Amino acid sequence: MKDTKYRWNTFQLYDCRGVEAHLAAMAAKGWRLEKAGSALWKYRRAEPANLRYAVTYSGSASRFEPGPTEEEQSLEELCAAAGWTRVSGCLQMQIYSTEDPNAVPLETDEALRLQNIHRCMWRSFLPANLVLLLLTLFLGRDFFLALVTWDLYGMLNSNAILISGALFLAAALLQVYLLAGYFLWRRRSRRSVEEGGTCLPAGRGSRWANLGLWVLLVLLLAVFLLSELDRGHRGAALYLVVYIILFNLIGVLVRGTTALLRKRNVSKTSNITWTLAVDVVLCFALIGGLIWSRYETDWFSDKGPAGETYEYRDQDWDISPRQDFPLTLAELTGEEYSHVRREAEDLGSVFIPRRNYRETALLGDGPKVCELGYTLWELSSPALRESLLEDLLEDDPIKFRSMLLTTLRYVPEDPAPWDAEAAYRRYYDEDPNNSWLLVWPGRVAVVSLDETPTEEQKTLISARLAPENGKEEIR
């Protein structure tokens, strides 16, 4: 039987009544609080006892102080004289207990207690929550803007945007909830104190809000990893797992640095300085190194083995080109290509699947290089299709140092040769490009060619890339 156990800290800093009631109930069950941390509380098994707990606050308490401050020492001496023993501390919260049912309460002036709680909240909780709120709003600004404008494609075009956006939204709502919850609790407690009562418990909602966010985080990360693995994106899944491990490792090492400096009696100012320096160095070394490795190495590449290749004219070519392409250059042009390279990749999200195809080939022995590329979007609803088209059809100005170089835009043309519902050709300002946007019911495609296709080639492209039910609806 284990003599110790840990419990996730679900209490808010100001919830003194809730903490007192909880610890008394745990003591009655045979568990005594041994250490209260910001994240985990440690309990040790003991004989069930009818203990009284009291929570008071010390504004000078800090995890960077080498030892108890004068205010904390004076508080502990006064409490000991009144029959109370210090159990642990969590930030400015100081927890005491006593077995004496007649011991004098530590807090007799509830108005002063409420004032002290508010002062401690402004020193730790409220600034941190405001910073977190602003940070989540900044990091999730693109998702929030897409949500406000109801840009479905902007919200759902990739699993990464969808998952991170949902997390930033949940985190922002949590901070708003916690801030509003505190000020509502303060107003209710002030009214209670004015009527001769005490500060009130914070309630279950505030206790479980943080835990709920962690549960949501785990669920969303699991969904993201499973969806990426299902599409063969093992590199992206591995990158996320390594990132999470390194991020938590930095937190452990930073907290360990703070604790080590405290044991060595380093001053508060020096402790903060060294802890911040360690934090910055670790972030640059670990997270920066991870980001560098993603772009400079193949450790996190999503490109699976494409089969054996050979080198010709300083390029790699497929010995056995993949056969899962809906349309190939040989089928489109009727030519025989002696050197071929084909690449395909699943992108998009679970709501808007997207698959890219790209083929490069040499006509004869070269040097002419021929290319064919197309992207297919599968759209389950007209609303998603309209949102995607609105994004694709928007003019795209290309600038260099604030100087407009050209504007990419799609110009509508007759869709009949493509057997499509709508067709658009891409232009660079007024110059046409060999790239077309084709629209069918349930599917959208962007096709890029080397030359303008003939009528027969347009028909073939439609036959190979359009969904069967989409062509029947158009007819």
At residue 17, does pLDDT exceed 80?
A: yes
Residue 1 confidence class, pLDDT cut points 50, 70, 90: low
**pLDDT tens digits, residue range 116-150?**
888 888 877 788 888 888 888 888 888 888 888 88
* pLDDT at site 426: 94
Cα–Cα distance, 56 to 40 (Å, whole number): 20
Q: What is the mean pLDDT of residues 441-470?
A: 91
Cα–Cα distance, 431 to 279 (Å, whole number): 53
At residue 51, does pLDDT exceed 50?
A: yes
Q: What is the mean pLDDT of residues 451-469?
A: 91
Burial class of residue 217 (count of CB atoms within 10 Å of its CB; 0-12, 13-18, 19+): middle
Residue 214 confidence class, pLDDT cut points 50, 70, 90: confident
Least confident among 4-8, 90-94, 300-304:
300-304
At residue 219, does pLDDT exceed 90?
A: no
**pLDDT tens digits, residue range 253-311?**
888 888 888 888 888 788 888 888 888 898 889 888 888 887 787 777 766 545 688 99
At residue 235, does pLDDT exceed 90?
A: no
Correct CATH for 309-474 of 3.40.1000, 3.30.1380, 3.40.50, 3.30.70? 3.40.1000
At residue 318, does pLDDT exceed 80?
A: yes
Residue 356 confidence class, pLDDT cut points 50, 70, 90: very high
Cα–Cα distance, 69 to 261 (Å, whole number): 16
> What percentage of residues in the chain have a pLDDT greater than 70?
95
* pLDDT at site 297: 79
At residue 213, does pLDDT exceed 90?
A: no
* pLDDT at site 45: 92
Domain boundaries, the chain: 4-108, 122-296, 309-474
At residue 245, does pLDDT exceed 80?
A: yes
9-18, 73-82, 322-331, 360-369, range with greatest mean pLDDT = 322-331
At residue 473, does pLDDT exceed 70?
A: no
Indicate the average pLDDT of the chain: 86
* pLDDT at site 330: 93
> What percentage of residues in the chain have a pLDDT greater than 90?
29
- Please, are residues 58 and 75 in contact by the beta-carbon 8 Å criterion? yes
At residue 442, does pLDDT exceed 60?
A: yes
* pLDDT at site 270: 87
Q: What is the mean pLDDT of residues 19-27?
A: 91
* pLDDT at site 305: 47
**pLDDT tens digits, residue range 155-191?**
988 888 888 888 888 888 888 888 888 899 999 999 9
Query: What pTM did the predictor assign?
Result: 0.75
- Other CB atoms within a 10 A radius of the CB of residue 279 amount to 16
At residue 249, does pLDDT exceed 60?
A: yes
